[in-house]
C-alpha cells in the first residue's frame, strides 16, 4: 500500500472534526443565549466582561484545535535513512514508507505514514497527535476545560434563577424547548469537563516524563520483561531529562528526529528495546486458516450475540477475511482475534476479526509454510 499524503482540508471531512466543531460551538452559543437573558452583555460591565472572557476562551481553544488538525503531527520523510549506514541495524524498517523509522517514530495505519514522536491517533482530529501538534493539542484541552467550567457555571446559574422566579418577577423565560436545549448544553459541558480533565491528567503525566502514550507502553513491557528474566540488563528510559527539561523539550522546535538523551544512555536505546520486543511478538504469532468469510463489520450478527456484544472497544480496523486465506494471529480474546495477512507485493493488512472465522493450522502443515 503506497502512502498517500493527506491534505489538511480533507482532515475536516470526517465525523470527528465535524462533531467536535458542532459540539463546541453549540455549548458556547447556547451559554451566551441563556446568559443574555439575565446578564446582558451591554447591561452591565460584569455582563460585558463575562461575554468577552467566554468568547476569548472559545477563540483560543478553537484556534488551537484548528492548528492541531491543520499542522498535523509531523511525518517522517519517505525513504528516510540514518546518516550512518551502520546505525540501520538499530532501527525498524517500514515497508509502507520504504524507509527506516527514526527514534520515537511510529507508523500510523490510519494516517498511513510514519509519525514523528507519535502519541496516539485521535479520531476527533482525524489525524495523529505527534511532535508538531502535541503542544497545541495540550493547550486546546486545558483552555477547553476552563471554558466548559465557565459554561456549566453560567448554565447552572440560569437554572437556579428559573427555580427561584416562581411567584416573583420573571427573569428567564423557560418553555419546554428551551429546557431541552439547556439540558443538552449542560450535559455536554459536564461531559467535556470530565473527559478532558482525565485526558489532561494523562497528557500532563506524559509531558513531565518526556514520554508518549506508545513509549509508556513500550517501557511497561520492558520492565515486565526484566521482571520475568532477571538476567537482562536494566532498562532506563533515555528521554527523561528531569521535569523542567522535559517541559522545555515538549515545547521545543527541533526536527522531531534527533532528541537529547540522559547521561549514560544512547540514541538508540529505545529502538533496540523495540526490536527485541518485536522479535518476541513475532515468536508468539500463530498462523491460522480462514474457514468462514467475514466482511469487516463491527457487529457481525451471523457469528452470534456473544461475538457482537464483546467486540474490541478500540479504533483499530476490522480485517475482512476470505475462505482459504492464511492469517498470522498476534492477539487473542475470547471471541475476537487480531492479526495480519500478507500480500505478494509485500504489504500487510491488519485488524480484528471474529474468532470463529479461523482454524489453527496443524503443526505438520506449519513446517511446510
Percent of the chain exceeding pLDDT 70 equals: 93
Phi, psi of 247 (to 5 degrees): -65, -40
In this prediction, residue 317 carries a pLDDT of: 86
Q: What is the mean pLDDT of residues 328-353?
A: 86
Q: What is the mean pLDDT of residues 189-198?
A: 97
Q: Identify the residue with better confidence: 315 or 76.
A: 76
Contact 129, 139 (CB under 8 A): no
| pLDDT, tens digit, 9 for 90 and up, residues 245-291 | 999 999 988 999 999 999 999 999 999 999 999 998 888 888 999 99
Query: Is it the case that residue 1 has pLDDT exceeding 80?
Result: no
Strand pairing class (336-342; 113-116): unpaired
Query: Is it the case that residue 2 has pLDDT exceeding 70?
Result: no
Q: Which residue from 43, 25, 234 is spatially nearest to 144, judged by alpha carbons? A: 25
Cα dist from 140 to 67, 83, 162, 164, 197, whole Å: 10, 36, 33, 36, 12
Lowest mean pLDDT among 36-40, 56-60, 294-298: 36-40
| pLDDT, tens digit, 9 for 90 and up, residues 259-272 | 999 999 999 999 99
Residues 311-331: b if buried by 16+ CB within 10 A, e if exposed: bbeeeeebbbbeeebebebee
In this prediction, residue 10 carries a pLDDT of: 86
Say how far apart CA 272 and CA 185 lie, in whole Å.
49
Q: What is the mean pLDDT of residues 191-213?
A: 96
Query: Is it the case that residue 364 has pLDDT exceeding 70?
Result: no
Query: Is it the case that residue 167 has pLDDT exceeding 70?
Result: no
Q: Identify the residue with better confidence: 99 or 161.
A: 99
Residues 349-368: b if buried by 16+ CB within 10 A, e if exposed: bebbbbbbbbeebeeeeeee
The string of DSSP letters for 127-172 reads: EEE-TTTHHHHHHHHHHHHHHHHHHHHHHHHHHHHHHH-TTS----
Most confident of 3-17, 37-51, 161-175, 187-201: 187-201
CA 360 to chain centre: 33
In this prediction, residue 156 carries a pLDDT of: 94
* Interhelix angle 176-209/134-164, nearest 10 degrees: 150
Say how far apart CA 89 and CA 100 lie, in whole Å.
10
Strand pairing class (348-354; 336-342): antiparallel
For residue 272, what are the contacts with CB-CB under 8 A and spacing of at least 6? 90
Catalytic member of 94, 114, 122, 211: 122
Beta bridge partners of 99: 94
The mean predicted confidence, pLDDT, of the chain is 90
Catalytic-residue membership of 122 = yes
In this prediction, residue 369 carries a pLDDT of: 47
In this prediction, residue 160 carries a pLDDT of: 86
In this prediction, residue 365 carries a pLDDT of: 45
Q: Considering the entire predicted model, what is its pTM?
A: 0.84
Beta bridge partners of 287: 328
Q: What is the mean pLDDT of residues 13-19?
A: 93
| pLDDT, tens digit, 9 for 90 and up, residues 43-93 | 889 999 999 999 999 999 999 999 999 999 999 999 999 999 999 999 999
In this prediction, residue 295 carries a pLDDT of: 92
Q: Which three three-digit cell numbers place residue 346?
A: 509485500
Amino acid at each position: 500500500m503506497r502512502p498517500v499524503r493527506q491534505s489538511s482540508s480533507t482532515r475536516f471531512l470526517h465525523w470527528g472534526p465535524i462533531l467536535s466543531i458542532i459540539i463546541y460551538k453549540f455549548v458556547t452559543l447556547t451559554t451566551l443565549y441563556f446568559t443574555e437573558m439575565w446578564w446582558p452583555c451591554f447591561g452591565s460591565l460584569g455582563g460585558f466582561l463575562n461575554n468577552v472572557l467566554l468568547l476569548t476562551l472559545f477563540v483560543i481553544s478553537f484556534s488551537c484545535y484548528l492548528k492541531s488538525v491543520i499542522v498535523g503531527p509531523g511525518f517522517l520523510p519517505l525513504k528516510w535513512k540514518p546518516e550512518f549506514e551502520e546505525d540501520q541495524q538499530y532501527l525498524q524498517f517500514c515497508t509502507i514508507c520504504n524507509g527506516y523509522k527514526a527514534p520515537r517514530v511510529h507508523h500510523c495505519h490510519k494516517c498511513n505514514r510514519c509519525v514523528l514522536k507519535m502519541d496516539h491517533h485521535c479520531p476527533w482530529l482525524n489525524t495523529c497527535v505527534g511532535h508538531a501538534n502535541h503542544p497545541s493539542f495540550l493547550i486546546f484541552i486545558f483552555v477547553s476545560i476552563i471554558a466548559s467550567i465557565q459554561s456549566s457555571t453560567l448554565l447552572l446559574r440560569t437554572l437556579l434563577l428559573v427555580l427561584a422566579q416562581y411567584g416573583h418577577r420573571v427573569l428567564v423565560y423557560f418553555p419546554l424547548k428551551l429546557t431541552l436545549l439547556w439540558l443538552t448544553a449542560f450535559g455536554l459541558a459536564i461531559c467535556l469537563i470530565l473527559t478532558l480533565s482525565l485526558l489532561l491528567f494523562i497528557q500532563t503525566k506524559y509531558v513531565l516524563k518526556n514520554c508518549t502514550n506508545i513509549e509508556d507502553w513500550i517501557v511497561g513491557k520492558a520492565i515486565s520483561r526484566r521482571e520475568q528474566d532477571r538476567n537482562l540488563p536494566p532498562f532506563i528510559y533515555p528521554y527523561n531529562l528531569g521535569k523542567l527539561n522535559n517541559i522545555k523539550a515538549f515545547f521545543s522546535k527541533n526536527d522531531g528526529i534527533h532528541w537529547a538523551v540522559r547521561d549514560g544512555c544512547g540514541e538508540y536505546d529505545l529502538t533496540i528495546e523495540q526490536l527485541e520486543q518485536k522479535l518476541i511478538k513475532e515468536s508468539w504469532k500463530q498462523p491460522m486458516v480462514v474457514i468462514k468469510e467475514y466482511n469487516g463489520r463491527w457487529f457481525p450478527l451471523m457469528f452470534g450475540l456473544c461475538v457482537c456484544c464483546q467486540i474490541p472497544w478500540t479504533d483499530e480496523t476490522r480485517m475482512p477475511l476470505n475462505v482459504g486465506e492464511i492469517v498470522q494471529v498476534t492477539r487473542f480474546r475470547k471471541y475476537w482475534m487480531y492479526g495480519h495477512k500478507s500480500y505478494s507485493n509485500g504489504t500487510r493488512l491488519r485488524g480484528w476479526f471474529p474468532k470463529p472465522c479461523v482454524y489453527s493450522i496443524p503443526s505438520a502443515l506449519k513446517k511446510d509454510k
